[in-house]
Structure 1
């Protein structure tokens, strides 16, 4: 089985270099690593990595970058593992991934156990993430749990099941919920699972992310778009919209240092106004200046 690792990145050259170098500790080496960036400065000295990643460039946008990776490896891989540029996989991740996909032919997509997720707070340093990996006690018994969609910080896809399905480039820039969109559709062709033997730490690096207003707009526009497209579980889409609006509203009075809550709230309200006037479009964030 040929397993490639694909990493989209922008604006975090040190972070992506560490993530790529960390893959050297895998007990089962990847058959290839593809990093898709936007500008040469975003990958700095990545070409000097001992892992010898293939470095590609395309226009800005998570979906564009993921699709570019898929085109590049289409006839060379059986499974692609997409990881964020700030995700550190446990040393046996690829070995366990191969075991899972070989032993269970009906599994078309898999995600892992996130030991710690810095996306929900100020984030973890690289040193902190390594320590979290070291201290983790993996479960002794292998178990897979059914999922309706996968978490994009670490998601593996069987390419024969993916077929012509691609990430929706109408979800621009950060591509909010692009992982839900494509894997929910993928799940119509087989099983999606979360394996307790696939694990890692999502550092939650804050550099290179989209603006608060843009993200706030996407928090409403993208779920509505997916609902109309029927590519997201309705309950999940509504729950995410409600949870984000409530969180932005309550925390905007005393926002966290690392989150632009007031910007997100403005984006939420703008999207709701566009929804009420039939102008809602995920691509509108390309016209937002801040």
Structure 2
């Protein structure tokens, strides 16, 4: 599959199904009362702001990668896939909007916790460590550097934010208050197990998963189910093993397969002669940044599944 397989889709426009919500990347439609059609658009968000320009092929690449991981990790935790074809629930003239970029899933009751697992010190975690020698309240050893591997993966949950708001890092204890000890502890344990299994698989392909986030929901019978998307470059920080050691030694961000390329560009972008303040509207992405980002997503999928 190539990035030019179909035109870029910034926003889907299905009319045969009721629209439930548009997220940063996905448009969700109701299919009866028990299923949801999740359409992965080519939208890109960074710093919780949606960019105005789509990344061609991104939605298809994200969907293929999520399906790869749902298959690999099914023994650890049930997931929300129904196994039914997304094309079967839309009109014939809408098929091209969903083909290759959609999942038909169970409708669950989502739990309002972003289950973040970090195996390496990066991004906001590195900034927080420099200030407090901890990440989200989890104490860490002294002397760690940017991109350092942590002694063991740590669980640093966040409260899921409304569209346009920043997710809020919270303690495990706070998640217990929100969803109860049983769900909170099971999500924590499952998330670490999922991360460790995925990190081992990715490493065999020459890729490091520095951190990731999972989302869970409850089925009608109370079963805890892995939902949304999983282990894509939108929810995970991927680094190729080559170049990692040199970046670590230099204290720099390693080369990445995720949105870090866009984040790094945005950090130096200016709006009206001043640094962008990370609120809408976002700076217009140059074509070179769009093409480089599309190539990164494509390379990540090819390397992982090749």
Q: TM-score, normalising length from structure 1?
A: 0.28
Q: Which has the higher helix share?
A: 1
Could you tell me the TM-score, scaled by structure 2's length?
A: 0.27
